């Protein structure tokens, strides 16, 4: 199937944080996937309404209506990860809001792509959310089955458990991680001849000593975890002063013809 009006909504994952764009800003998996789709459909338009730090409620309240106004035929929806970092989050309520959003989009005839969370087992701090993430993932799979949506199952993508798929902050993906997620989305959509997210396989990283791991974790906590906690305590978000990078549906430009995922 050819899509010509793709809109992406979500948080920093969809905004593309961690994958620098030529000339500044962020590229990310959604841009990369859009470039591949644009190469297959004349008159292709793409909008990315995602803003870093957004909780699912704000994504649905602010970005969903804007997305519906653009009359897309394909929408990617990713959200809830920032909510799940907060203890006490009601996963069932989160899933109910996502279900209603997907129902609204599917009611227009648009195809919808959802994303499960990545397995955080390897993270020294975020792994504490693993149970909540796993439950929400099951809810997302049920929503997709009920509403006829596509799913990118990041939980099963072993390569995303490798730190080379992640930026230094361990919260956002590296260019390699974004590249593989873009390919996984295109695979879920059934787009042929774009490449395989499993390739190339990554050689195992050298085993670090306990002391080296502790030193690395300590440096990460000082540089990234402490500022994140500080923002939470002040009621601030990294996206407070950020607006959507592609708020209107528009062509990608001449550079979209280049090989987007390699």
Across 140-159, average pLDDT: 98
Do residues 135 and 170 touch, judged by C-beta distance below 8 A?
no
- Is 204 a member of any domain? no
Residue with tokens 């919260």: 171
Across 223-249, average pLDDT: 78
The domain tally of the chain equals 1
Cβ-proximal residues to 254 (8 Å cutoff; 6+ apart), any chain: none
pLDDT confidence of residue 92: 98
Across 172-199, average pLDDT: 97
Q: Residue 226 has which token pair? A: 């402490």
The pTM score is 0.90
pLDDT in tens, 207-229: 878 887 777 777 877 777 777 67
Q: For residue 220, give the CATH number of its domain.
A: 3.40.50.1110
| Domain that residue 163 falls in | 5-198+210-257
- Alpha-carbon distance of 208 to 123, in angstroms, equals 15
User: If we measure between CA atoms, which residue out of 179, 180, 183, 200 comes closest to residue 192?
Assistant: 183
Pick from 72-81, 185-194, 203-212: least confident: 203-212
- Is 262 a member of any domain? no
258 pLDDT exceeds 60? no
pLDDT confidence of residue 123: 85
Helix, coil or strand: residue 219: helix
- Is 43 a member of any domain? yes
pLDDT in tens, 109-149: 999 999 999 999 988 778 899 999 999 999 999 999 999 99
First-to-final CA distance of the chain: 23
- Is 112 a member of any domain? yes
- Is 54 a member of any domain? yes
Q: Choose between 224 and 170: higher pLDDT.
A: 170
């Amino acid at each position: 199937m050819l899509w010509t009006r793709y809109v992406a909504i979500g948080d920093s994952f969809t905004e593309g944080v961690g994958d620098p764009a030529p000339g500044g800003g962020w590229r990310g998996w959604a841009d990369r996937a859009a470039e591949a789709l644009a190469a297959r459909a004349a008159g292709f338009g793409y909008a990315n309404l995602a803003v870093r730090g957004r909780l699912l409620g704000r994504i649905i309240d602010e970005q969903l209506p804007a997305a519906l106004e653009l009359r897309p035929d394909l929408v990617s929806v990713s959200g809830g990860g920032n909510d799940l970092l907060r203890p006490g989050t009601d996963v069932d309520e989160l899933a109910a809001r996502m279900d209603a959003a997907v129902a609204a989009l599917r009611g227009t005839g648009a195809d919808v792509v959802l994303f499960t969370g990545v397995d955080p087992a390897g993270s020294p701090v975020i792994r504490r959310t693993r149970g909540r993430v796993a439950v929400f993932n099951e809810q997302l799979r049920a929503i997709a089955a009920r509403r006829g949506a596509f799913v990118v199952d990041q939980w099963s993508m072993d390569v995303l458990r490798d730190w080379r798929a992640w930026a230094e902050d361990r919260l956002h993906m590296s260019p390699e991680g974004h590249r593989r997620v873009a390919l996984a989305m295109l695979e879920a959509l059934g787009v042929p001849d774009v490449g395989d997210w499993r390739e190339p396989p990554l050689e195992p990283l050298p085993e670090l000593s306990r002391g080296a791991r502790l030193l690395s974790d300590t440096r990460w906590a000082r540089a990234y975890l402490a500022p994140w906690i500080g923002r939470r305590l002040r009621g601030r978000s990294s996206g407070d002063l950020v607006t959507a990078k592609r708020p209107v549906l528009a062509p990608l430009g001449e550079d979209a013809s280049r090989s987007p995922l390699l």
